[in-house]
Structure 1
Amino acid sequence: MLVAQLDYLQIVYGGKFQAEVDRTDKTVMTGSVPRGMIYDSKGRLLVGNSTANAVTYTKSGSVKSSDIYTIANRLTKYMNVEVTDLTKRDQADYILAAPNKSAKVAKQMPKSYRVDSNGDALSSAKIYTNEVKYVEQQGIHLNQKDLQRATLFKKMSAAYSLSTVFLKDKDLTAREIAEVSEHLTELPGISIGSNWNRDYPQGKSIASIIGGVSTEQQGIPDDEINSMLASGYSRNDRVGTSYLEKNYESILSGTKSQRQVQVGANNQIKKSTILYKGQKGGNLNLTIDSAFQKKVQSALETQYNSAKAAGITQYSDGAYAVVMNPKTGAVLAMAGIHNNPKTGKTTEDSLGVINRTFVMGSAVKGATVMGALMDGVITPENNTQDDTPIYLPGSPVKKSVYPAGTFSSLGAVQALQFSSNIYMMRLAMKEGHASYVPSESMVMNPDIFQTLRGYFNQFGLGVKTGIDISGETTGIEGSTRTSTGALKTGSALDLSYGNYDAYTLIEMAQYISTIANGGYRLKPYVVQSIQKTKDDGTKGAYTSVTKPSVLNAINATKDEFGVVKKGMYEAVHGSGYWTTATKLADLSPAVAAKTGTAQSFYYDPDNPSTDPPETITTSLVSFGPYDDPNVAMAIVFPNLTSETGSYPNLLAHQIYTDYYKMTGQK
């Protein structure tokens, strides 16, 4: 009967069983491609890829830990690896992966490690946890070569089924490549490939704008894992994690390669065929000229170092500058320094332009005057006001920086030229229909804050600019009511001359650009165009070109803008001791500007104080050439202990000098 059954199975079903043994499944695997490049406005390479040889491992469907153990041990005969991030658990896992080692340890463990209090066998997972515990208790003594093997074992074990990981992609010698290649038949899943890393040929002067890329170990960020997996990413893919690298991830990442893998009945890879070699990521062309960027950053550092040498940066947390084209919104340079007040150490911080806020002071007065003109409380022909101080009960006298009585009255142009706080406060009082009697409580419309901020918002102050870099924050608004619910009329006056709400520097640049171009709030951008990459690695066809985007148009006349522009021109070229920006007067072509000074305070997060030291924030906005502006800028030096030095003015002068020279303007 047995012989008959054997014949039956062999003859009738033999072919079927043999086919099952030989059965293979075909699976399509994807592979990463080099990221796209990032170039400056002149075609200089800012961010590229350095390619290096690599030893890779593709994990089969049901490979055993003991198999990985064997491969790792063999591989270390032919190459050395760096031992990194190995925990005691990692080392115990490697030890237990040796053939039959787990079973031997299980027999040696105390009975309580194998069964519960009722004598029932523990789950296999719990027993393995106890095996790890037992090995650690007995002491782990691995030599340097064993630690290398454990490192490889950890990397290979962590790989997902049918995914490829890099085992070594740095300092791989020609001899190591040759020896590994020679023994590939005894190293299932091991291959010789290549990997890439981001490099910065022009240095890292704008590295914080560009952002970073995750490592293979970091893979996809946890907060985006579901959406990115649904989009075809693998868990260990290298992706942009911040700023431009993140914003343009879908462009820079390219199209993955595809390989068809045949997997046998034993889940081992039998054959691999390239179906599609992939398409390298697209290239970004920025609006920023790296040579000009370096000059702006260098000039900023020079002025900041001068302030430091003068001994006025003990509470300072840095300085920032941004330059834009007011006709298009293109960002021409973004520079920043972050200073640690405790250590005095400075670091590059261009991103502070979009993610830090400061009370800017009088630099915002152009928006105040424009708001009053739009509100109708003054006109281009009729805008003269008394320049006498304002007295409110329980509050210090509200006046300008110059002595009371210096001017009996001022027009809008002169108010901007001499930076009159009084003029701006009286504009706010008119817009709020204030009932004012010196030294008595003043009554204003309860919507005065909304009115002032509404006009500021139209110019970009207090709202996000929409710049194409992730992480932009918006200005901070001060409170409008006291704890008892009373309207903060005094704070409304402070708001009018820039000493209450806080703004980012990119908001200031958008605001001055809106004045410079005659009333169009343009969306700032740093990516000018996107190009494909040809097979030979050179730039290909354009896929996108950024065009100016108008966020809103200001409903004001040319004459009304003319008042503010003239005031800013006189702030540079006017006569009189209190003219505020005369250090820019010798520039040719001529420019216009508005300086700012605000009272601020230094708050030590490690030692909060109810009485923080008072500091000074100095700022400047400017545009030029005056007759046909093609450049606008905003600068801030926050939290100095003195306003002496005119650092924003000196920095602006150097930026204009460099820009005019580089663009050939005379």
Structure 2
Amino acid sequence: MKKMSFLDKLKKENEEPMTQKSKKSHIPFRLNLLFFVIFGLFVALIVRLGYLQIAEGQQYAKKAEENSTLKIKSSAPRGQIYDAKGNLLAGNKANLAITYTRGKKVQTKDLVPIANKVNDLIHVPADELTERDKKDFWLATPENLKAAQKRLTDADKVDEKGNKITDEGTLYVKTVEKVTPEEINFDGHTLQAATIFKRMNSVGELNTAFIKNEGVTQDEIAIIGENTSEIAGVSTGMDWDRDYPSDTDLRSLLGKVSSQKAGLPAEEADEYIAKGYELNDRVGTSYLEKQYEDILQGHKAISEVTLDSKGKIVTQTPVSEGKKGENLKLTIDMAFQAKIEEVVRDQYQQLLATGNAAYSDGAYVVVMNPKTGAVMAMVALDRDPATNELTSNPLATINKAFEPGSVVKGATISAGYEQGVITGNDVLIDEPLQIFGSEQKSSVFNKIPGNQIPLSAEQALEYSSNAYMMKLVLKMMKTDYQYNMQLPYQTGDPTLFNVLRKTFGEYGMGVSTGIDLPGEETGLSNKAFDSDAAPMPGHLLDLSFGQYDTYTAMQLAQYASTVANGGTRFAPHVVEGIYDNKSDGSLGDLKEELKPKELNKVDISTEQMQIIQNGFYDVVHGNGVFTTGKYMQGAALDIAAKTGTAETNVGEHVTVNSNVVAYAPYNDPEIAVSVVLPHLTSESTRPNQSMVTAIVNAYAEYKAQ
């Protein structure tokens, strides 16, 4: 009989009548079909597994092995900071160190035996541990934890609403409260172990902490090396501390670096982590250390760690030693800085001795290269009014602002040019101005009502004419002076204030100077001279001769530089360049020079700028009866300058700010200088001019060396 095929059989079954017998007959066949399909799937699965085992087994085995071998990073020393002559200002002191790298799945209970073993091997001085630190260490032993947990009452295990507490952190806090004072009354040796435990427990998985990084001996390094199999994750290495070998007042300018314990500043942590930093990385937190963090930060060393099945570190092998950060070289020569500070300190001490500085804040001086913006000296002496003690604080030159007085008049004339109210060395009449509803406003040399003196723009600078500046502002208001006139300018309208301030800003006053340091103040505008703090029309007149807004010594130095170089405003900078390292870690070759950064040009013609420069020269070298800067004649280099006296108050005491902006030599300027001496009782001895002369002489002597 011919055997039926599988398809014939199916066909025949479909043709049979649906009797009870036929229904039963094809059930076994369906089961067989199901078994056949399942069998086929099993065969396919076995074939696939065999393929993975044979063809790709080595690949997966290698991957599994890689998963137990991980790379970790550790910090490298920061780059160093040098002065303009290559003298070290901020360096690194290398220290031997004992480190702990936490493996995966490592619990606090796993740390206790390691901490105890390390404590038996080396001496780690105990920290000032808090009560919580001690309790955490005691509870890290499982037996102690269980004992404390048994002390929890039913009330301890529910919240205020009577619900069972399931959060482990909350329960742990309650457990901590059950530890008794007697249980944490540790002896000295145990306190040392608790200190080691705390340091180890301060880091997360695959992060490294220092168990000891001060006073580590070679013997301790050897002992740790001999016992690494018993102290998983503990290793030896190097650490560093910021070191400041030079005793200089530039220390505050350099800034600070966070400790490993403090790590990243909380408010900037996300930004740093996005750059690849770890939470416990040390970073610059202020001034140069912060401004140039990306340059100074070293490239981390890399080690390879092998973990066992429990996540504990079995071996740790250095892969890359890392690379020290790049170095900064400043524009400031430490010796020149010290000389300028000596000049400022000596002369200010004389003011204190005569009582002239009885209410003064201190003295503030900046010396700058007007052709590049390179800062050559930043000197600030803050005075303690209670003791007369002087504290060196160079940063005050960028974050303390004072009324400048008449030094701004060059910029006011520049505003007149920009607004088209004068075009050249125009002549205006200096006379006392009587504005309706206000006191008479006049130049210092011409207070007699009705007395009229014709002055050119250059003479207005030489004699320091307040009236000339106020008449420029009146012209900007589209009016001319008339006795007892009412000002057309509406109270609170900022238009002309902004016009004048825009030009002042072109010279660096009232705006950011662009200096490569964080924390700069831009001065104060719109002071509350009237009850509702709104600027009055008369205040615009005050602004024109420096009796309204306030500026820093750095802003005034930038102003002097801009006049000196013919109208280009350069950003001040204290870093000259970025340097690599020699093999011994010292200052290497120049990698990147910081080029002068041009911010803007003053919007006047070369001829108009020459008029302002001539006026500055005449301030010192003019022969007029009212020439204001004659005390600067006879300096080692020809000085061009603008003096300024701002009337101020300290409480009920009437004081003056004695200021000056200057540059020298006039025909080819090499330095620009600002001097701010706030709140003196008198300036009859011209202390501002005396100080500038001494600074220029000091520069000439320095240059000749």
TM-score by length of 2: 0.85
In the alignment, does 2:553 pair up with 1:505? Answer: yes
Matched, 1:225 2:269: yes
Who is 1:9 aligned against?
none
Cα distance change, pair 19–379 in 1 and its aligned pair in 2 (3 A): closer
CA distance in 2, matches of 1:485, 1:358: 19
CA distance in structure 1 between the aligned counterparts of 2:277 and 2:359, rounded to whole angstroms: 46
Alignment counterpart, residue 415 of structure 1, candidates 445, 455, 460: 460
Q: For the structure 1 residues 600 and 122, does the alpha-carbon distance in structure 2 shift closer, same or farther, using more than 3 Å as the test? A: same
Q: 1:52 to 1:435 in 2, by over 3 A?
A: same
Code of the residue aligned with 1:424 in structure 2: it is M
1:481 CA drift (Å): 11
Kept after mapping to 1: 8 A contact 2:75/2:300: yes
Partner secondary structure for residue 214 of structure 2: coil
Query: 1:590 deviation in Å?
Result: 0.8
Cα gap change, 1:394/1:20 in structure 2, threshold over 3 Å: closer, same or farther? closer
- Alpha-carbon shift at residue 178 of structure 1 (Å): 4.3
1:554 maps to 2:602: yes
Which of 333, 345, 358 is the equivalent residue of 2:377? 333
Q: CA deviation at 1:238?
A: 0.6
2:611 is equivalent to residue 563 of structure 1: yes
More moved, 484-493 vs 349-358:
484-493
> Structure 1 CA distance, aligned partners of 2:66 and 2:263?
34
Instruction: Give the 3 Å change call, closer, same or farther, for CA 123–305 of structure 1 in structure 2.
Output: same
Q: Give per-residue Cα distances to partners, 1:518-540, cap 9 Å, x unaligned.
A: 11111211212112224432444
SS state of the match for residue 100, structure 1?
helix
| Aligned residues of 1:418 and 1:571 also touching (Cα < 8 A) | yes
List aligned pairs for 1:389-404, cutoff 5 A: 389-404=432-447
Cα offsets for 1:244-276 (capped at 9, x unmatched) = 111111111132222222211110112223332
Deviation (angstroms), 1:463: 1.3
Determine which of 125, 132, 137 is the counterpart of 1:94. Answer: 137
Map residues 640-651 of structure 1 onto 2, 5 A cutoff: 640-651=680-691
Structure ID, larger Rg: 2
Please state whether the residue corresponding to 2:149 is helix, strand or coil: helix
Q: Does 1:453 align with 2:497?
A: no
Q: Does 1:471 align with 2:515?
A: no
Distance (whole Å) between structure 2 residues aligned to residue 131 and residue 340 of structure 1: 52
Q: Say yes or no: does 1:264 pair with 2:308.
A: yes
Alignment check: 8 A CA contact 2:515 2:572 kept: yes
CA contact (8 A) 2:97 2:239 kept: yes
Deviation at 1:486, TM superposition (A): 8.5
Secondary structure at the aligned position of 2:299 is classed as: coil
Aligned to 2:205: 161
Structure 1 115/553 Cα, relative in aligned 2: closer, same or farther at 3 Å?
Answer: closer
Partner of 1:105: 148
Gap regions ≥5 residues in structure 2: 1-49
Deviates more, 1:401-410 or 1:508-517: 401-410
Task: Point out the more displaced range, 236-245 or 472-481.
Answer: 472-481
1:233 Cα deviation from its structure 2 partner: 0.7
Name the aligned partner's letter for residue 62 of structure 1. K
2:574 aligned with 1:526, yes or no? Answer: yes
In 2, Cα distance between the equivalents of 1:153 and 1:590? 68
C-alpha distance in structure 2 between counterparts of 1:634 and 1:584, whole Å: 14
2:478 aligned residue (426, 429, 433): 433
Aligned position for 2:622: 574
Q: Quick check: 1:297 aligned with 2:341? A: yes
CA drift of 1:613 comes to 4.4
Contact 1:433 1:444 in 2 (8 A): no
- Partners of 1:55 and 1:192 within 8 A in 2: yes
Q: Are 1:135 and 2:179 counterparts?
A: yes
In 1, distance between residues paired with 2:533 and 2:385? Answer: 37
Q: 1:119 to 1:255 in 2, by over 3 A?
A: closer
Q: What is the alpha-carbon distance in structure 2 between the residues aligned to residue 574 and residue 202 of structure 1?
A: 44
Q: Matched residue of 2:209: which SS?
A: strand
CA distance in 1 between counterparts of 2:234 and 2:688 reads: 59
Normalised to the residue count of structure 1, the TM-score between the two structures is: 0.89
Whole-angstrom distance in 2 between the partners of 1:324 and 1:21 = 62
- Any idea what SS the aligned residue of 2:631 has? helix
Instruction: Name the structure 1 match of 2:670.
Output: 630
> Which of 110, 122, 137 is equivalent to 1:67?
110
* Closer, same or farther: CA 27–176 of 1 in aligned 2, 3 Å: closer
Alpha-carbon deviations, 1:116-155, whole Å to 9, x = none? 6869575433332122112156674233333332222211
Pick one of 631, 639, 642 that aligns with 1:583.
631
In structure 2, give the amino acid aligned to 1:432. M
The one-letter code matched in structure 1 to 2:499 is T
Residue identity opposite 1:106 in structure 2: Q
Cα distance in structure 2, aligned partners of 1:508 and 1:121: 65
Deviation at 1:93, TM superposition (A): 0.7
- Report what 1:146 is aligned to: 190
Partner of 1:211: 255
Matched-pair contact (CA < 8 Å) for 1:24–1:265: no
How many residue pairs are counted as aligned between the two chains? 643
Change (3 A) 1:485 1:541: closer
Q: Secondary structure at the match of 2:215?
A: coil
The one of 57, 66, 86 equivalent to 2:100 is 57
Query: Deviations for 1:4-46, whole angstroms, at most 9, x for unmatched residues?
Result: xxxxxxxx99x99x99999961222112111111122222222
The residue aligned with 1:424 is 469
User: Which of 401, 411, 420 is the aligned partner of 1:376?
Assistant: 420
In percent, how many aligned pairs have the same letter? 39
Question: What is the Cα deviation at residue 619 of structure 1?
Answer: 1.2
CA distance in 1, matches of 2:533, 2:515: 37
4+ residue runs of structure 1 moved beyond 6 angstroms? 18-23, 480-487
CA distance in 1, matches of 2:146, 2:539: 76
Q: Distance in 1 between matches of 2:413 and 2:482?
A: 23
State how far apart, in whole Å, the 2-side matches of 1:628 and 1:191 are: 62
446-455 or 650-659: which moved more? 446-455
Q: Residue 78 and residue 519 in structure 1: after superposition, are their counterparts in 2 closer, same or farther (change >3 A)? A: same
Cα pair distance change 1:19/1:135, threshold 3 Å: farther
Q: 1:151 to 1:581 in 2, by over 3 A?
A: farther
Deviation at 1:160, TM superposition (A): 1.7
Who is 2:696 aligned against?
656
Separation in 2, partners of 1:556, 1:207: 40
Name whichever of 434-443 and 543-552 sits farther off: 434-443
Q: CA deviation at 1:101?
A: 0.8
- For residues 64 and 364 of structure 2, the distance between their equivalents in structure 1, rounded to whole angstroms, comes to 69
Q: Verify the 8 A CA contact 2:527 2:548 in the aligned structure 1.
A: no
Contact preservation (8 Å) 2:527, 2:549: no
CA distance in 1: counterparts of 2:168 and 2:530, whole angstroms: 65
Alpha-carbon deviation of 1:108?
3.7
Is residue 54–residue 170 contact of structure 1 (8 Å, CA) maintained in 2? yes
Give 1:48 deviation, angstroms. 1.1
Whether contact under 8 Å (1:106, 1:114) holds in the other structure is no
Answering whether residue 590 of structure 2 is matched by residue 542 of structure 1, we say: yes
Tell me the distance in 1 between the aligned counterparts of 2:625 and 2:211: 70
Contact 1:449 1:480 in 2 (8 A): no
Q: 1:334, CA displacement in angstroms?
A: 1.1
Code of the aligned partner of 2:100: Y
Give the 3 Å change call, closer, same or farther, for CA 143–575 of structure 1 in structure 2. Answer: farther
Aligned to 1:28: 71
How far apart in 2 are the matches of 1:92 and 1:576? 82
2:232 aligns with: 188
Task: State yes or no: 1:282 paired with 2:326.
Answer: yes
Letter in 2 for 1:662: Y
